[in-house]
Structure 1
């Protein structure tokens, strides 16, 4: 099978690493060719803390995916999360020299570049600038300024910031595992691709991805990303609490959480017990399911209160910013029994579980339905988007353009027809419009070239 026929998403999580291989069929759905999973041994709360172990886990997952799919994996689209990711809101503007000319993508890029000059904390770097709404002179709430006239171009931006060292560590692990990184994508954005509908993004929705080490949040309103953040707690800390509270080993604590854990103690009976085998001839231990639920509930409520804090920080309880579609819970942690009911009560928003196989055509045995696959499927979808934008005759650096490429190219053609003396060619302009992953990759590649 030729390399261009398939794409690969690689989710480097805290508890597991997933490699998923797929291609788009004639109906626009995704045919999954193979899946590989491996225990993640070198990642803590979304951040690589052991290079060699992470490389081994990546190799194991990729090898399994290659065996099940029958294809050789060379390029992967990788997710990035971790507690080092943060976001902020910023407004900025530029004064255009000639207001009689159309506003072009060059003007928007100039405005973005100005935002990227913001001074960050030591070691931090702006990894993406997402325009939200524009204002031209005195006219506000403009979503597409290209082709319009004006002197002052202003915009509100959602700025995503992260530690460049963490990005380089991920890039090194992928490279030394014998793979080429096609792009980097923020994990909550990847998960949203897999489980959210366009209607939900327009109405207003928060995706809460509860992973093993972190809980990732992304808020959408009017089809625009409004807020992102990473809470440094996930399902792993619930397991840790069960281990300490019930005085059992971690493996038994994880099994208890998965099979019998509940987020609402009131729905469990006092008379129901589960038996845990004793260690090395010691007597078995009986644990009440109600007691187990009380331990789980305490930590889950804490995580949901942090989610509530982020919703308030965005303004989700204001009428204008209200999340009509509520909350979508996904990630492995959302498998916890009665979590949806507790989320409804804690946040006041209606919630649902986001299943990850809506866009999968051949998942007849429902093996990919679990919300724990949301990020990896979202990364696969992101990789397929990049491949879809790659005509065979176009050089690679010109292929990978942003989702707005078609509209932007049309605007450039309009501008070029009005100004025949334009200095930059359309090819040069397309070269500038890289996705977030490609911009990060350019920086990472430059770093490794300097090191070598």
Structure 2
């Protein structure tokens, strides 16, 4: 890419595909250079169902982003979601050969690699292995074991699993659109980066990302990801219910939901009526807003109850698992009127709407701070975290015969680190992501 500081986030959603290109300004905020949006025709509930249409939609979004920004896009950070994603908890340990040496990154990498060998169901692949607390010998609740002495290193892991075929299909679509995958991440984690503060993650928070085809959940506590889930319902099922309940076409149902929809039926009076134009010469239809909000309420309640069940499964009712920061709602579906009040009523937890504007530069377009762009902003942030060139300042000594009183000439210069050195510095998660990209490359 022309500027090494530029990154691109590609959000392949059920209703829309968004390509967001940006860079960090001098204040560390994200300056969005261009955004491209295309209707997502080949994706159902977060899973690619039509390769050709998905490739066309990706190309359309990329072309638009390139046109606006004037930059050539070659690499993208892609998010993975979909109803095939599930998570599980697993504990594992390794016995170290030499307890007299301190624990280093290689020990953690060995432990993570051991978890990767877990036997999954047929057709499933591990996407993320996220360590939670570590235990060194008999000392529990250690967040960072590197530098400690110990013979037995143990950890609890949050393991995210997905269908191999679904993951490969996304990789294939991106590659066929003429792009390289610079990174891949779980969409709820990307959304969390964009809308959650570090204080909320420490206190305990549940992020609910209501998209078109799926509702993603990510729970954080003590700054660590504790639970993730993907519920196969989203804004599209609400639109479908309005379409069926009011006997209108999908386009009208979507407009009704956005303009007049409310998740709280008590807000509307029986006398409030909206008129929908009839199809080709037919009489217009009159729909009461009371009935509209009843239809929406029923489906939204079902989605929230599914999410709340996952929060209960995590164990938020226990003293240790209490989510002090409550719930943060984001995604396109979170813009539904009175949704926050309904969530608070059903769960009994505080809720707020999450906007990604905290990380955006002050002069950014107002529409970019919409919750529907939270995932794209999160993916862009992920891309900007990784510098394309690994550079470091090294000290080179010019070797001389040093006699007494003779000065040694020392010069400092910046140069690229050798791949071997860079490999040692990479975290186990980065190494895994590289392995995963290789897995996608071999999937052709």
TM-score when normalising by structure 1:
0.90
Give matches, 1:59-98, under 5 Å: 59-98=59-98
Give matches, 1:368-447, under 5 Å: 368-387=368-387, 390-391=390-391, 393-394=415-416, 398=419, 426-430=421-425, 433-435=428-430, 437-447=433-443
Q: Distance in 2 between matches of 1:329 and 1:387?
A: 31
Q: 1:134 to 1:284 in 2, by over 3 A?
A: same
Contact 1:44 1:213 in 2 (8 A): yes
Deviates more, 1:105-114 or 1:437-446: 437-446
* Root-mean-square deviation over aligned CA pairs: 1.6
Any idea what the Cα deviations from partners look like across 1:95-145, whole Å, max 9, x if unmatched? 122211111111111111111111110000112211100111111001111
Give matches, 1:252-291, under 5 Å: 252-291=252-291
Contact 1:32 1:362 in 2 (8 A): no
Aligned equivalent of 2:343:
343
Question: Following TM superposition, by how much is the alpha carbon of 1:181 offset from its aligned partner in structure 2, in angstroms?
Answer: 1.1
Q: Distance in 1 between matches of 2:208 and 2:110?
A: 33
Q: 1:365 to 1:108 in 2, by over 3 A?
A: closer
Any idea what the Cα deviations from partners look like across 1:140-179, whole Å, max 9, x if unmatched? 0011111111121111000111111111111111111111
- Work out which of the two has the higher radius of gyration on C-alpha atoms and give 1 or 2: 2
Question: Following TM superposition, by how much is the alpha carbon of 1:387 offset from its aligned partner in structure 2, in angstroms?
Answer: 2.4
Any idea what the Cα deviations from partners look like across 1:261-300, whole Å, max 9, x if unmatched? 0000011111101000000111000000010000000000
TM-score when normalising by structure 2:
0.92
Give matches, 1:48-59, under 5 Å: 48-59=48-59
Contact 2:211 2:333 in 1 (8 A): yes
Q: Distance in 1 between matches of 2:272 and 2:422?
A: 68
Give yes or no for the alignment of 1:36 onto 2:36: yes
Give matches, 1:1-400, under 5 Å: 2-387=2-387, 390-391=390-391, 393-394=415-416, 398=419
Q: Distance in 2 between matches of 1:73 and 1:303?
A: 37
Any idea what the Cα deviations from partners look like across 1:351-390, whole Å, max 9, x if unmatched? 0000122211154541212100000000000000012774
Question: Following TM superposition, by how much is the alpha carbon of 1:439 offset from its aligned partner in structure 2, in angstroms?
Answer: 3.2
Q: 1:226 to 1:135 in 2, by over 3 A?
A: same
Question: Following TM superposition, by how much is the alpha carbon of 1:80 offset from its aligned partner in structure 2, in angstroms?
Answer: 0.5
Aligned residue pair count: 421
Contact 2:275 2:285 in 1 (8 A): yes
Aligned equivalent of 1:421:
none
SS in 1 for 2:386: helix
